[in-house]
Structure 1
Amino acid sequence: MEIDPRRLRILHEVARRGGVMRAAEALFLTPSAVSQQLAQLEREVGLALIDRSQRRVSLTPAGRVLAGYAERVEDELTEARRELTRFTERLSGPVRIAAFPTVITHILVPALRELATLHPRIVPSIHEVYGRPALQELRHGAVDVLITEQDMSLPVLAQPSLAARALYIDEYRIVVPASWSDPPRDVADLAAVPWVAGEPGQASGQALDRLAGLHGFEPRRVHVITEFGPALALVAAGHGVAIVPTLALLDVPVGEVRVTDIRDVGSRRIDAVTRVSRTRSGEPDPVQAVVISAIADATAALDPTLRTHLPQVQET
């Protein structure tokens, strides 16, 4: 009995993603191609591996057993690649990074410059995806490194299958239109103003909920915006106030908005998250480790940039 390991990988993806369509997306194949490879694998082993009697494709008992072996084969190949990097002069290979706009602009872009100089054989690719979808992509192996944001009120991500490295504590500031002659001076003044709020699942949305709950007011959410660029544009146009992280203020032209003196608004935590290695060595993937190190270096360079830029933004 000859079993093609490439077809085992397809079975492995179908098993962990729960269907042909999702496996096809992850493998960059058509659903038809995935189905054909599964059918060929069934001919190779002489057993039905896929239960096609129901609307949703599922594995037969034999399919589940073989998928378990397929997972071990994937782990062994990962271990082999890790061991072989010890014999190469330079690290190489693709690394898929999921992140959100402010991190892409101010952390990943400079990190990629450093990687291109120090490790030109590493090929990073950035995917703008965040929140629950990004975490799911990490678990499924569609991305290798995930940059997350989370409001300080929430616990640190703690799951046995994931490892998180803290990158940055990004303080929130409250911004108001520069045209307002009498801007809010303290948190009590924020109860009456219109808000350009973040989505409830975002760190900035969570920060507003936390601030309102702590001080006993119900914010008047006139606009609910996902990205900080449009939110700051609405603030600049006079449509309300917003909570934004300090990092987002690097994109604000001088005089466009006013950063209030209201402090103690809290912060968001930015982490780099990877899957925990399940190989024999237990060591982190060396390519991913180098990428995260470059990201951490770029993050460390933020403070001098912020110290230079923020005084230029008009304050009350």
Structure 2
Amino acid sequence: MIDVQRLRVLRAVAEHGSFNRAATALRLTPSAVSQHVAALERSLGTRVVERSTRGVTLTPAGHIMVGAAESVAAELTHARREVDRLGTGRTQFTVATFTSGGRLLLPGALARLTAAHPGTVVHVREAEPEEALRLVRQGAVDAAVAYHFDGPLPGEPGRRTPVEWTALLADPLHMVLPEAHPLAGRRALDIAELAEEPWVLGCLKTEAYLRRYADRAGFTPEVRGTTTDYFFACSLVAAGLGVSLIPSIALAPPPPGVRVVPVSPPGPARHIGVAVPRGRGDHPYVTTLVGALRDEAAAVRTIVPPCPVI
């Protein structure tokens, strides 16, 4: 029999990368954490972590057990909510979301959820995709609107993960220029054409993406503005501080003082979807929310600017 507490300790070690930090988070001593992990390894007959001066890393067996720990935690959280519902007659439903996606997709979807299931108490948590997906895996939220950039869907392809992902829409990144910029009337732009321009960034993920594309084009972008808000970034572009690379749904409707120009294909894009705990996809509340989000995503496609706004 595998001890649930030992799984909880291993999950904390994986999350924090060291016994000391895991001990602090769990309010245990590092020695107690080490003993829990050692006992788990004895019960399994194999190592679950590799210890080094740089910290702790999971072995393949450790990755499997952390996945099991997250599934167990999610099931226990779900069970607790069901017990609470029996006592109060009300269902608590929590959704995590990133800001721009939540702004356009969630209001209508949540209105349909509460209309279809009266008495549901809905909670919304703002969270970036990495955190949101972690919350889903741990059962801390019932669903998460998240995104990933070009590449595989969240999780490891070909391997069972504790998250079910439903794609909603592709969200291409567009160039945003001051309205008087000489290239503002173009139908499309290659990022390399703006190599000499100063840049304004709307989030750290966009910065990493921009630098990757700029490196392919052979230049290093000069960054003059860094924000975590796309609307603020657009206002800086309108003021002439630089140009920016911003997802389409953050440009609906287009802000004043700027021009939106698509990136020449193949352009960068982020892929928006909804994640739910594996095995919960057929839950009535989840089914209602995912269906509503699909409808909202279809409507958003008619709002996002598909060509230059001039």
Distance in structure 1 (CA, Å) of the matches to 2:74 and 2:237: 50
What's 2:300 paired with? Answer: 302
Q: Hey, what's the Cα distance between the residues in 2 that align with 1:304 and 1:283?
A: 27
RMSD: 4.0
Question: Which residue in the other structure is 1:157 paired with?
Answer: 154
Q: Separation in 2 of the partners of 1:175 and 1:15?
A: 45
| Residue in structure 2 matched with residue 172 of structure 1 by the alignment | 173
For residue 154 of structure 2, give the secondary structure of its aligned residue in structure 1: coil
Distance 1:80 1:195 in 2: 49
CA contact (8 A) 1:250 1:306 kept: yes
Q: CA deviation at 1:181?
A: 5.0
Contact 1:276/1:284 (CA < 8 Å) preserved in 2?
no
Q: Which secondary structure state, in structure 2, belongs to the residue aligned with residue 192 of structure 1?
A: coil
SS at match of 2:285: helix
Give the direction of change, closer, same or farther, for the CA distance of 1:292–1:13 in structure 2 (3 Å limit).
farther
Q: Which residue of 2 aligns with 1:27?
A: none
Identity of aligned residues (%): 25
Q: How does 1:39-118 map to 2 (within 5 A)?
A: 54=31, 59=36, 61=39, 75=75, 78=78, 93-118=91-116
Does the aligned pair in 1 maintain the 2:74–2:139 contact within 8 Å?
A: no
SS in 2 for 1:169: strand
TM-score w.r.t. the length of structure 2 is 0.68
Q: Structure 1 residue aligned with 2:234, among 213, 232, 235?
A: 232
How far apart in 1 are the matches of 2:244 and 2:235? 11
Aligned to 2:196, which of 179, 192, 196?
Answer: 192
Cα 1:121/1:14, change in 2 over 3 Å: farther
1:212 alignment partner, one of 204, 214, 217: 214
TM-score (norm 1): 0.67
Please list the CA deviations of residues 191-240 of structure 1 after superposition, one character each: whole Å capped at 9, or x if unmatched.
0000112445x2x3343234323322222122232221221121122111
Partner in structure 2 of residue 244 of structure 1:
246
Give the deviation of 1:164 after TM superposition.
0.9
Cα distance in structure 2, aligned partners of 1:73 and 1:218: 44
Task: Measure how far apart 1:141 and its partner are.
Answer: 1.9
CA, structure 1 residues 99+54, in 2 after alignment: closer, same or farther (shift >3 Å)? same
Contact 1:20 1:57 in 2 (8 A): no
Listed as ranges, the matches of 1:257-272 within 5 Å are: 257-260=258-261, 262-264=263-265, 265-272=267-274
What is the letter of the counterpart of residue 191 of structure 1?
A
User: 3-state DSSP class of the match of 2:31?
Assistant: coil
The answer for the alignment partner of 1:120 in structure 2 is 118
Query: What is the identity, as a one-letter code, of the residue corresponding to 2:138?
Result: H
Q: Does 1:134 align with 2:132?
A: yes
For the residue of structure 2 that corresponds to 1:306, the secondary structure is coil
Alignment partner of 1:273: what SS? Answer: strand
Using the TM superposition, name which of 162-171 and 133-142 deviates more.
Answer: 133-142
TM superposition shift of 1:54:
2.8
Q: Does the C-alpha gap of structure 1 residues 273 and 9 become closer, same or farther in structure 2, counting only changes over 3 Å?
A: same
CA spacing shift, 1:218–1:74, aligned 2, 3 Å: closer
The size of the alignment, in residue pairs, is 263
Q: 5+ unaligned residues in a row in structure 2: which ranges?
A: 14-21, 44-67
User: How far apart in 2 are the matches of 1:118 and 1:10?
Assistant: 38
Q: Which residue of 2 aligns with 1:26?
A: none
Q: How far apart in 2 are the matches of 1:217 and 1:73?
A: 46
Cα distance in 2, alignment partners of residues 134 and 142 from structure 1 = 9
Say whether the 8 Å CA contact 1:198–1:225 is kept in structure 2. yes
In the alignment, which residue of structure 2 is the partner of 1:148?
A: 146
Residue 288 of structure 2: aligned partner: 290
Q: 1:242 to 1:53 in 2, by over 3 A?
A: closer
Change (3 A) 1:141 1:283: closer
C-alpha distance in 1 between matches for 2:6 and 2:211 = 44
CA distance in 2, matches of 1:290, 1:165: 13
Unaligned residue ranges in structure 1 (runs of 5+): 1-7, 24-30, 32-49
CA 1:53 to 1:146, structure 2 compared with 1: closer, same or farther past 3 Å?
closer
